[in-house]
Structure formats: structure tokens, C-alpha cells
Amino acid sequence: MRLAKYLAHAGVASRRASEELVRAGRVTVGASVVRDPAWPVDASSQEVSLDGSPVLAPAGWVVYALNKPPGVVSTARDPQGRPTVVDLVASDRRLYPVGRLDIDTTGLILLTDDGELAHRLTHPRYEVPKTYRALVGNPPVRESALEALRGGVELEDGITSRARVRRLAADVVEITIHEGRKRQVKRMCDAVGHPVIGLVRVSIGPVELGDLGPGEVRQLTEEQVDHLKRIGELHPHM
């Protein structure tokens, strides 16, 4: 593990702040001062210290699933003082949300201290599917609108990729996408004449919202985390 990542995962500071600590000469590995944030660290055989005090080896990564309520922002901190998704998870880890949901959108969001996993789940090249259920206006949603959503619709930032779409009720559609454009599902529905009234995310890859109530949290099992890590591993989209 790189030295700055080790410090950040141990809760010393953010990754960027940890890099500055290393460059300032405040970190030692064994008996030597190290100024390279990318210096490889083997926690099983090397002691890392900050200003002379040992930094305990970080524990394994964690991933939490949260049912985000409306009115909560999908960031670690909010300058306007609004409640954040991190506020809802009782953990002493430095957690970060994986991707975002609009403040009025509810449903599944993941939080983790594993930066590499967060990157894999949010980067478009890995095509991680995310499924949403949308309550829309101007019902009923006809087959022509469903076909347009499936085939790709023209937005101001380009045509969307193909999506899996099914109608659950006259005014409810389920949409699975693998892109991560801002407000994408809402804009797609607007484009076919059905503005979104309510939106909930029900799954990310193999992880489903299930019976989590609004504001409730569960920690993913090792098996679920391993499954997430395998997404796109063999054949990422280039």
C-alpha cells in the first residue's frame, strides 16, 4: 500500500493532506524519514510514525448500504449545513459516498473507505448497472416511450447508451443504466414526455436496496464486497 493511502486509511487525514504530511518530512517508515507519498509500505514488517507517534495499521475496508431519505445530500460534508449521507452512518471510518443522488432522490447509495472500489463503481468504463424506479407524469407510459428509452435518447450532452426499461404501472417505469451523467434518469424521462415526480434507486450492481427503510444502514458482507470488486475486472469497457 502506498504511504499516503496508508495514512488516510488509518484515519490520520485525507489522502491529499496525508501527502502533504509526508512531503513535509513528518512521517517515518522504520527509522527513516520518507518524503515520497507513493512509497510502498508493508504494515506487517514496517512501523509507520507521524511526528514520532506510531500510526496503527489500518483495518480492512468497509462498505455500507444506505437508503438515502429525501433532503439528505450525497456528500461527506455540506457547506450549507444540510444533513449528509455520512451523518447517517455510525462509523469511526473516514467514509465517502460512492457516486451521488440528487437531494430529492431516495434509495440505495454505498459508502466506503476503499477509494479503488469507489472508482471502479463510478467510472463509466466498468459499466456498473444501476437500477431506478421512477414515478412519472403524463401517464400512461406507452411502448413508444419505452422503446425510445431503451434505444437511447438525445440529451444536451449527447445520446444516452442503451438501457434496460420496463413499465411497472401506468405511471411507473424501472430503468437500468450504466452511465453516470448528472440527473440522467430524470432527463431521459423528460425527453420522452414523462417528467419524473419521484425517483428511487433500487440496486447498484449485485447490491439491492431490499427492505432497508429510509435512513437505515447495513454493512455489506465480505462476499458482497468481493462481488462488487469483480465488476468489470475481466472485461472493462474501453
Q: What positions carry a catalytic annotation? A: 102
The mean pLDDT value for 156-166 works out to: 96
Same-domain check for residues 214 and 200:
no
Residue with the larger pLDDT of the pair 57 and 147 = 147
Same-domain check for residues 97 and 34:
no
Does residue 139 form part of some domain?
A: yes
Same-domain check for residues 85 and 114:
yes
Q: What is the pLDDT of residue 177?
A: 96
Q: What is the pLDDT of residue 233?
A: 64
Same-domain check for residues 40 and 75:
no
Read off the CATH number of the domain in which 180 is found: 3.30.70.1560
Same-domain check for residues 68 and 169:
no
Does residue 180 form part of some domain?
A: yes
Query: Cell 416511450 belongs to which residue?
Result: 145
Read off the CATH number of the domain in which 75 is found: 3.30.70.580
Does residue 14 form part of some domain?
A: yes
Per the structure, the complete domain to which residue 167 belongs is given by 129-204
Q: How confident is the model at residue 139 (pLDDT cuts 50, 70, 90)?
A: very high
Grid cell listed for 103: 437531494
Q: What is the pLDDT of residue 232?
A: 56
Read off the CATH number of the domain in which 31 is found: 3.10.290.10
Same-domain check for residues 218 and 119:
yes
Same-domain check for residues 67 and 172:
no
Would you say residue 47 has pLDDT above 50?
yes
Q: What is the pLDDT of residue 1?
A: 81
Write down which residue in 31, 54, 77 finishes a domain: 54
Same-domain check for residues 144 and 106:
no
> Which of 36-45, 90-99, 140-149, 173-182 is modeled with the greatest confidence?
140-149
| Dist. CA 222–CA 141, nearest whole Å | 40
In this structure, of 67-71, 111-115, 233-237, the range with the lowest mean pLDDT score is: 233-237
Q: How confident is the model at residue 235 (pLDDT cuts 50, 70, 90)?
A: very low
Does residue 78 form part of some domain?
A: yes
Is the bond into 140 cis (omega within 30 degrees of 0)? Answer: yes
Q: Within 10 Å of residue 9's Cβ, how many Cβ atoms?
A: 21
Q: What is the pLDDT of residue 5?
A: 82
Q: What is the number of domains present in the chain?
A: 3
Per-residue pLDDT of 171-229, as tens digits, reads 999 999 998 889 999 999 999 999 999 999 999 999 999 999 999 999 999 888 888 88
Residue with the larger pLDDT of the pair 57 and 201 = 201
Q: What is the pLDDT of residue 238?
A: 36
The pLDDT mean for the chain works out to 91
Cα dihedral 100/104/108/112 (nearest 10): 40
Does residue 236 form part of some domain?
A: no
Same-domain check for residues 158 and 218:
no
Does residue 10 form part of some domain?
A: yes
Same-domain check for residues 138 and 199:
yes
